[in-house]
Structure 1
Amino acid sequence: MNHFRYKQLTACILTGMGILAAGSLRADAARDTIPASLDTLQSVAYAEQPRWKTTAAIAGISGEELRRSSVPTLSNALFGRLPGLTVMQGNGEPGYDAPSMLVRGISSYRGTRLLTFVDGFESPFDQFAADEIASITVLKDAAATAMYGIRGANGVLLVTTKRGFVGKPRIAFSAQTGWQSPLRLPDFLGAYDYARLYNEALQQEGRAPRYSQADLDAYRAGNDPYFHPNVNWYDEVLKKTAPTANYNLNIRGGNNNARYFVLLNVLKNTGLYKNTDPEKEESANASFLRYNFRSNVDINVTRRLSASLDLAGRVEDRTYPGTDAPTLWYNMMLIPPNAFPVRNPDESYGGTSVYRNNPVGLVLGTGVASTHDRSLQATMRLNYRLDQLAEGLVASAAVSFNNWFRGNDDKTKEFAVFQLSRNTAGDTVYTKFGDNTPVAVNDWQNDQWRRTNALLSLAYDRSFGQQEVNALLQYQQDVYTISGNNVPYAHQGIAGRVTYAYKRKYIGEFTFGYSGSENFPKGSRFGFFPALSAGWVLSEESFLQPQAAWLDFLKLRASWGLTGNDQVGGRRFPYNQYYSGGAGYYFGTDNHAASGIDEGSLANPGITWETSRRLNAGLDAVLLRNRITFTLDVFDEKRYDILAERNSSVPGYIGVGLPAENVGSVRNRGLELQLGYRRPAGKRGPGYFVEASAAYARNKILYMAEVQQPYAYLNRTGQRVNQPFGLQAIGFFRNEADIAASPQQVFAPVRPGDIKYKDQNGDNIIDIYDEVAIGHPFVPEWTFGLHLGLQYKGFDLDAFFQGVANRSVMLQGPLVWAFVNNAGAPPMAQGRWTPETAATATYPRLTTAPNDNNYRSADFWQRDGSFIKLRNIELGYTLPLSLTRLVKLDHARVYVNAVNLFTLDHVKIADPEVLYGYPVMRSVNAGLRLEL
């Protein structure tokens, strides 16, 4: 193996704490085999470590990579990027499109929220600008999260912001503008097909048709828009595209005494609603306007004392129609196309006694709702080198204040709708429902929270010949206060880590957290959470040299440890007994009333947190002179002390609510894999890279104290968390003889064409006791990522695909159930069962009345929720230096990109991530980036 000289890093900026851990400068001529990239630092809990020394399960992404994903909400750039981090799209509504995130799937049926830390302190990061991010790292195993103690079991996401450097000021400016459109919208039948199928449904029920042949002809011809309308509500309410824009300016630089990074970012994301008032007086489109500001300053006060001051703030203004988005989108999906015209001949809003929520009126006639968010985070750190006591010893103190406020400024109103009819004389009659009300102004505080943190620590970093010792000991406290809650949430604890490395070959680490929460009884609030990990760099062993010249780096690692989760769910302070006002009683001859008090669920004075016991084994490899990288992790986690009520062992006739007790447990196992190949550009051809990743996690409920079931297959114990249950469909009833010969289905009287279900227990009755586990949970078990890149003569192409598997979705409601709750009809209803189509039918017989047999939780309505999406693709061109220097620029690049360009899936009728509501958005953008 080729040898090259290396110089160990002399200082490690522990960005989580701002600690300067000074180490000794050395050069070891005998062992210089680690590629330079493995000496780069990566974030760990409250610190940074060289990559070769890390023994925990960690994955990270740089801010430069995130910047290529042009999404308004930063967390939406993480889909598939970090193996082990499952990111699930919420919706596409501007300002409210943040996804949910899980680390290594689900390990508890109670609280699963991960922790997010920004520069060492807990904070949300969804609305950060990509340009202020240096890196994002996910901590996955016990060795990585034990320092977070009672709160680390669900994983931790570390966000590190950019800082200054020693050098001349660098100014970067970027501007991007683009258009976004729905990735996929549901489709519904037009008025003619709706009316035709509605008549057929009435016929199936033995009733007279609602629509005459003349009505059907008018719907088909479309020549009577007021009395025979054919309205596509999505076309009436939504524009085809909506603009977005993002502008960024940042400056960074400094000298040996002071370094700085300053950023200003402006983002505007506009919604899809059409014909709204641009002045936002009468109505408003959905819009999100955000201003980000950040200033990170590092100062060397003296030779020993250094300080940093970080200030970051955001202004977020959101404006929407006076009707909330779920109501609006539900009515667009629900209302049939022939229910009423959008507007009547006199321009009043159409409607009926059944359909009073005209979707266009919900956008244009309900006024304006707006929220105004203001947030400010300030962090100050002091680091003092104590080399006079021990070389490499640093003491640090840090405080952080994080405040967020939301105010509402609403100008809302209501509108009347008018139903058209004709009297005997043929005149048009307007029947009014509702009222046109004046604007009601409401200016009020919606919500507010503040968080105060303090950290005190000692860090030690020293080398003794071929031995390296790193240690960190810290005290932390966090007080979090929410508006309307006089009792703050509080966490407190100490944590530490000791890392020992010998010959850059053998690595051992001990990590612990001793922390507590105010939500548990006095005397039982604190727990101890240790973790052990080790690494063996085999590529440093003589038996692999020089025979394995192709092997640059190979490390085995393993970890074991405990972490906690204090998000146990339920009420606060569950160790206290609560009482509430209840029914009263009348006493005496005058029937004097006396109020009563009800006893709530029993208190549990022994309640505690969930505990996670985790085992992780991993392998890291670098091959062929840094061309190939490979990482593999396998893990086994047992989560125990999960809260559950002992409904199966305590009878209900005791007459009191049972307390939640720490008796539940879940096992979660899986693996994560990354494989990459990179060829740098050269004289002989272009540079390119291919990076693929896969992550798998499957859980199993070991115990949850559920109610005793009469059949084993009904138990949730032994199944996955949130496993769907339902009936198994085995076709449609063919005729009355088939119904008579089949088990009795109790949900509703059945007729030919209704869904036929499997009798699971053989009792000749189909009821709730025939529901079994069907499909997969909503959260995918497999997550895949494929990252491709190409660079050639100034051009660069970057594409990222994400996919998920072992995931199911349940179709229900107006999206697929024809005529239910006066809904329209989906295209799939054209495959309905009739006596003529019995052999080919793909949909049950149509009914206008509620059909409790056909529209149940069943695998008939379940679909494979797997998908592949092109999350991001970008083509850019960097101008040659010979041109940019003419205008005194160091760098100039133009680019075009697209987000969520296409989806491959099995659902088809709606986006597999967001079935209902404001859809996932596709965007196409063009941008420019300049640096000087």
Structure 2
Amino acid sequence: MIKTKTLYLVLVVIFYILPFGVEAQEESALNAVSATITNKSGDALEGVHILASKSRNRAVTNENGSFSIKVQVKDILVLTRLGYERMVVYIDNGSLESESIVLKQWGVIEPQEDTNIALGSMPFERITGSVERITGEELNDFPTAFTREALAGRLSGLQTSYNNGSTVAESFGNSIRGQGVGQLFVDGIPSVDIVLTPAEIDDVVIAKDYGSSFMYGTLGAPGAIIVNTKHGLPGGRLFRFKSRTGVRTPTFLPNTMNAQDYARNYNIALSNDGLSPIYTQSDIDDYTNGTNPVMNPNNDYYEDFANGISTYTHLTGDFSGGNEDVQYFSHLGYYTTDGIENVGEGRKLTRLRLNNNVQIKFGNTGHVNVGIGGSFNKRNEPRLNANSAFNTMYNYPANAIPYKINDTIFGRTQEFGTNLLVDLANGNIMEDERRDAFARIGLDLDLSEVTEGLTLKGLVGMYTLNVLSSFLDLRPHTAEPVFTPNGDGTYETSFREFSPEKISFNFSKLGDRVDRSQYIQANLHYNRDFSKNHKVIADVFFTNQKLTGSQLQQNTIYRNIGLRANYLLNEKYVLEGKLLNSPIRQLSQDERDKINYDAGIAWLLHKESFLDSADWLNFLKFRANFGVQSRPVSQFFISEHQYGSSGAGTFGVFRGETAGAGGSNRVFTASDLVTPKQEYLSVGLDFQMFNSKVNGQLNYFNIRNYDQITVASNLYAIIPSNYTPLMSYGDSRRRGVDANISYNNKIGDFAYKLGVNAMYNVSYNTLSNSITYPRGEEQRNAIGNQGGRIIGLQAAGIFQNDAEIASATPQLFGEVKPGDIRYVDFNNDGVIDEKDYHEVGKSPRVSFGLNYMMQYKNWSFSIHGDGVLGGKYVEQLNWNRGINDYTQELANSWPVSNSLPRLTTLSNSNNYRTSSFWLKDASYFNVRSIMVAYSLPQNLLKDIGVKEFSLSGSVKNPFVISSNKERFMPSRNKGYSEHPVLKAFELGIQVSF
């Protein structure tokens, strides 16, 4: 096998040699050609830039969309304009085939255009599933280096979440119809993440159901994200340089009490519990005056440690071009950022990104597609990760510990063991390097000489990830001061040592990670029009993916063999069928041999005679598909032993031992387990109306996941958990609708596009490892009910005095005092206990996105946002946290107001449990990004060889609209127990040559 490094170097040389051989010019007489450029709605497009590849001449359309340019006898025109996809027009015999050219607008349906779906592409009008597509140019108006984030709110059925808000570990998650993302493909190769920036992307396709994702097999069952990187176009070279620089600050930080307010309220809590206060007035005065910072510290953690501003710079350079035989694209990106901590060296991340594509045509029989790239990431930060640091700030009261006791000793206690000044500025430092690389070679071979319409397609790819981590161990002198009072009001100070001296080590390895993915795909593709009324597309697939790595207990292999056939009858009716063997290798041979299936139909209604008179209708497709697909399971070995005392009920070998720590041994095989399966029904409409100004789709989906492998422990209450068997038992459903609609229009120099998308989805628990409650308590059952229900007690205010408590229905959750929550006897049995639990609310069911883009002459503006409508969540922010910090909101606790129950230092089992008292509105709308840009007029640029020069200003996460001002609603823990999400202010410049 060729070494990865050798292959990488060879392909890099190919990429950087080929471009210099593809620009040979043909000298010939120049001819003038003229044409008019419009969009699909028929609007004339002013300001379209036209480049003649071989004559090197340039032109710009006038207000009527017309242009004239001198070209060679055989030439290539490249057409570009903001809001439209780049287009190539060939000149033959010195003339254009048509004097009317239509540019494709972003987001407008093109029925005949091939759209990427699982393991191939197909004309949009013949796809029987729900797919949505967005171009990389559209994503570029989002100020981010992360493609997953740029997708937020842009496509229906796709939700984007904040995973990690730390600047040096920033990450985002996507989910399709509430099921996650089953398969992610980048240029045909499976990937675990989208490491690409929007600048590298040609388009992203969301394959939401089996009509579009089925052939990916078990991993594609929840849906797929299909990413295609940019490639060169015939028609000369293009160099695009982009620079973005910005600053970031937290969107939200908690408003916590200072030391004196905390002391006063903690004394109140002690008094409520019948205990004596521990803070004297002298203590409170010292907190206020700052006269004794060691005994009575008053820390403001957010001001002291997180008041910095994070700066970042993102530079990208794209180099692309080619001719009819060779096209190439090369991307080089540099990204650097620091953290918001304002002590020590802080957090720093540097990323270098390389991506190269080349397509080579050989003869008339096919072409080769080669790709190579990767990234190098270097991160330095305190070993205390950013989430842990902010969790400490939130939980530690302002008087927890002094940062320093004297010039050489740092403070800490047994209760509060983290000194942020130590861990952020004077403690361990971690450094890691992440290196990932990919390489792929694809072959498309035309076999029409053997059989008309036959093509052989092959693809081989590999991906590697190496993470090398090390740390510098620094141990400053830490101790807890102990104060012994003297009779005269003074005190003696002694120390309880924790780390008595500072010990420094060189960088030591913390742990390395090595992952490998190898992928091969072969596809025999048949595309034939037997007549105008009979057209067939068929594919036979073979794929094999092997995963190895230090994070895996075993190597994992996914192998698929499948058949797909698509038949178009009378140019109006589509029939599609798919068969796939996608074995789960851990199960028995009988289970591995089973076949998955899917069937789909599509009806092109706009071509029917009864809609001939509907001039307002451009395109209308009804589609439906139904299928059954196997689902993956956790990794394990078949017919092996499970050792260990916990009896978790999973397959696998526990560290290779022959006996568990607890002495319990289990032996079983997979012979009694069947393949977990997903049943998927999807029905929808794709439409285009009013001269292509309105585009959209509407979908209904019904998903069933059954035979899920689980440990059904609640079925075997009398069997020791160590011997609870695995079963094919789980069964759940998810139903919903998603839709999107966009309206684009042009009025003189003003063009705009407004897009709205939304999804409603709800899950149902049909069968699971859940407790079944007896008659009279059925309302508590998960099985047989919708998911997302909030089960709790109905609150009826707060007890004001002992008389109210005495006259109320007894509450059996511990001692009840004035200031405690009063509950309703739901089942009317004379007591309030767990039997009174019932549904008190539901989590949000509706998510949505709003997108607006406009252009006026050389100005452009865009705004994007997403959110949820309706639903509740349980606010646990102000539940008892022992001696931990208090938010300012707790100052309103009873008896100041009835908005919160009484303060307590104990674990109050009456108050701090799920009830309607703690429910809050979960609705919000998060403005994700706003951007304004100005491009210099083309008439000023064309004579100096510059294709584009633009300036931009943008802001990310500027504000959230919600009824809750105490939370960052899109991710409620961010800023409290986790690093906050950041807002960004950015300036950018883009130049193209």
Runs of 4+ aligned residues of structure 1 deviating over 6 Å after TM superposition are: 593-596
Deviates more, 1:667-676 or 1:91-100: 91-100
Match of 2:580 among 491, 513, 520: 513
Conserved in 1, the CA contact under 8 Å of 2:260 and 2:287? yes
Q: Residue 54 and residue 357 in structure 1: after superposition, are their counterparts in 2 closer, same or farther (change >3 A)?
A: same
Alpha-carbon distance, 1:604 to partner: 4.4
Q: 1:63 aligns with which of 136, 149, 161?
A: 136
- Whole-Å separation in 2 of the counterparts to 1:548 and 1:829: 63
Is 2:243 the partner of 1:171? no
Distance 1:903 1:582 in 2: 45
The structural deviation recorded for 1:719 is 3.2
1:342-366 deviation digits (Å, cap 9, x = unpaired): 3345364333343231222221122
Q: 1:187 — aligned with what?
A: 255
Shift of 1:772: 3.1
1:104 aligns with 2:174: no
The 3-state SS of whatever aligns with 1:230 is: coil
Moved more, 210-219 or 77-86: 210-219
| Mapped partners of 1:49, 1:534: distance in 2 | 14
Quote the residue 2:94 is aligned against.
none
Superimposed CA distance per residue, residues 182-228 of structure 1 (whole angstroms, 9 cap, x where no aligned partner) = 11111112222212112222222333322233333343445554444
Q: Which residue is 2:538 aligned to?
A: 471
Say if 2:947 is the partner of 1:890.
Answer: yes
- Structure 2 gaps of 5+ residues are 1-39, 43-96, 648-658
Residue 398 (str. 1) matches residue 398 (str. 2): no
1:828 aligned residue: 889
For residue 654 of structure 1, report the CA deviation from its aligned partner: 6.7
Q: Residue 816 in 1 paired to residue 878 in 2? A: yes
What is the deviation of 1:800? Answer: 0.7
Tell me which of the two structures has the higher relative contact order, counting C-alpha pairs closer than 8 angstroms and 6 or more residues apart. 1
Secondary structure at the counterpart of residue 901 of structure 1? strand
TM-score with structure 2 length normalisation? 0.83
Q: 1:533, 1:40 → 2: CA distance?
A: 20
Cα distance in 2 for partners of 1:548, 1:324 equals 61
Deviations 1:766-810 (A, max 9, x none): 444443344334xx4211111111111100001112111345443
Q: Which residue of 2 aligns with 1:800?
A: 864
Distance 2:408 2:721 in 1: 60
Q: 1:105 to 1:831 in 2, by over 3 A?
A: same
Is residue 2:845 matched to residue 1:781? yes
SS for the counterpart of 1:876 is strand
Residue aligned with 2:316, SS: strand
Partner of 2:421, secondary structure, is helix
**What residue is the counterpart of 2:741 in the other structure?**
675
Are the equivalent residues in 2 in contact too, given 1:494–1:515 (CA < 8 A)? Answer: yes
2:364 is the alignment partner of 1:298:
no
CA distance in 1, matches of 2:790, 2:250: 29
Tell me how far 1:580 sits from its aligned partner: 4.4
**Deviations 1:127-156, CA, capped at 9 Å, x for gaps:** 211111111111112221221233322111
SS at 2:723 equivalent: coil
Paired letter, 1:439: S
Name 1:419's counterpart in structure 2: 481
Q: In structure 2, what is the equivalent of residue 337 of structure 1? A: 398
| 1:577-624 C-alpha deviation (Å, 9 max, x unpaired) | 4344899xxxxxxxxx99984233855422233222222211122112
CA contact (8 A) 1:98 1:126 kept: no
Query: 1:88/1:437 Cα in 2 relative to 1: closer, same or farther (>3 Å)?
Result: same
Structure 1 position 544 matched with structure 2 position 611: yes
What one-letter code is carried by the residue in structure 2 that aligns with 1:364? Answer: A
Match of 2:372 among 311, 316, 323: 311
1:641-652 to 2 correspondence within 5 Å? 641-652=707-718
Within the alignment, does 1:203 sit opposite 2:271 as a pair? Answer: yes
Counterparts of 1:469-868 in structure 2, within 5 Å, are 469-483=536-550, 485=552, 487-545=554-612, 547-567=613-633, 569=634, 572-573=636-637, 576-580=640-644, 597-600=663-666, 603-653=669-719, 657-680=723-746, 684-710=748-774, 711-721=777-787, 723-777=789-843, 780-812=844-876, 815-817=877-879, 820-834=881-895, 837=896, 840-868=897-925
- Residue 305 of structure 1 deviates from its aligned partner by 3.8
* 1:386 Cα offset (Å): 0.7
Looking at structure 2, the residues matched to 920 and 199 of structure 1 have their Cα atoms a distance apart, in angstroms, of: 34
CA distance in 2 between partners of 1:811 and 1:36 (Å): 44
Q: TM-score, normalised by structure 1?
A: 0.88
Cα pair 1:375 1:403 within 8 Å, conserved = yes
Q: Which range is displaced more, 146-155 or 223-232?
A: 223-232
* Contact preservation (8 Å) 2:713, 2:721: no
Query: Of residues 138, 149, 152 in structure 2, which corresponds to 1:79?
Result: 152
- Deviation at 1:288? 2.2
Equivalents in 2 of 1:36, 1:671: separation in Å? Answer: 21
For the residue of structure 2 that corresponds to 1:290, the secondary structure is strand
Q: Distance in 2 between matches of 1:303 and 1:141?
A: 36
Q: Percent identity between the aligned chains?
A: 25
> Relative to 1, partners in 2 of residues 1:356 and 1:644: Cα closer, same or farther, differing over 3 Å?
closer
Change (3 A) 1:882 1:444: same
Which SS does the other structure have where 2:785 is aligned?
A: coil
Find the partner of 1:92 among 153, 165, 170. Answer: 165
- Secondary structure of residue in 1 paired with 2:583: strand
1:655–1:631 distance in 2 versus 1, CA, 3 Å: closer
How far does residue 407 in structure 1 lie from its aligned partner after superposition? 1.0
Equivalent residue pairs, number: 869
Contact 2:217 2:580 in 1 (8 A): yes
Contact 2:749 2:857 in 1 (8 A): no
How far did 1:873 drift? 0.8
Q: Report the counterpart of residue 127 of structure 2 in structure 1.
A: 54
2:823–2:832 contact (8 Å) kept in structure 1: yes
Q: After TM superposition, list the pairs within 5 Å mapping 1:253-332 onto structure 2.
A: 253-277=321-345, 285-332=346-393
Q: Which amino acid aligns with 1:69?
A: F
C-alpha deviations, 1:855-907, integer Å up to 9, x for none?
23334334332210111110000111232235421111110111111001233
Q: Deviations over 1:263-304 (max 9, x none)?
A: 111111221111223xxxxxxx22222111111111123331
Amino acid at match of 1:708: T
Task: Answer yes or no: is 1:438 the counterpart of 2:503.
Answer: yes
Q: 417-426 or 728-737, which moves further after superposition?
A: 417-426
Q: Could you tell me whether the CA contact under 8 Å between 2:799 and 2:817 is conserved in 1? A: yes
Displacement, 1:444?
A: 4.7
Describe the SS at the equivalent of 2:349.
strand
Secondary structure of residue in 2 paired with 1:516: coil
What secondary structure does 2:214 align onto? helix
Letter of the aligned partner of 1:785 in structure 2?
Answer: G
SS of 1:89's equivalent? strand
Q: Please, which moves more after superposition, 375-384 or 93-102?
A: 93-102
